[in-house]
Amino acid sequence: MVTQSVRLPEELAERLARLAKTLRRSKSSFIVEALEIYLEDREDLETALARFRDPEASWISHEEVRRELDLD
């Protein structure tokens, strides 16, 4: 495990402390959870943007997707 320092705005630090106390969890556990969620979402976004920008990418219409998934 690595120790990492982070500077938080006062209001955010207060909210984190209140929630940690209320739920009897460490502030670190919330920070780790939030960062994991954010990084997964951000990595997915970067993958999608890379595919979108790929000049070799092929596209199908919304209607074709619905047909392929038998949603019509």
- Predicted confidence (pLDDT) at residue 53 exceeds the cutoff of 90: yes
Q: What is the pLDDT of residue 34?
A: 98
Give the Cα separation of 65 and 62 in Å (integer): 5
Mean pLDDT of 3-25: 97
Give the Cα separation of 72 and 30 in Å (integer): 42
Residue identified by tokens 């999608």 is 48
pLDDT tens string 38-52: 999 999 999 999 999
- Look up the pTM and report it: 0.74
Helix (H, G, I), strand (E, B) or coil at 68: helix
Cβ contact 20:30 at 8 Å: yes
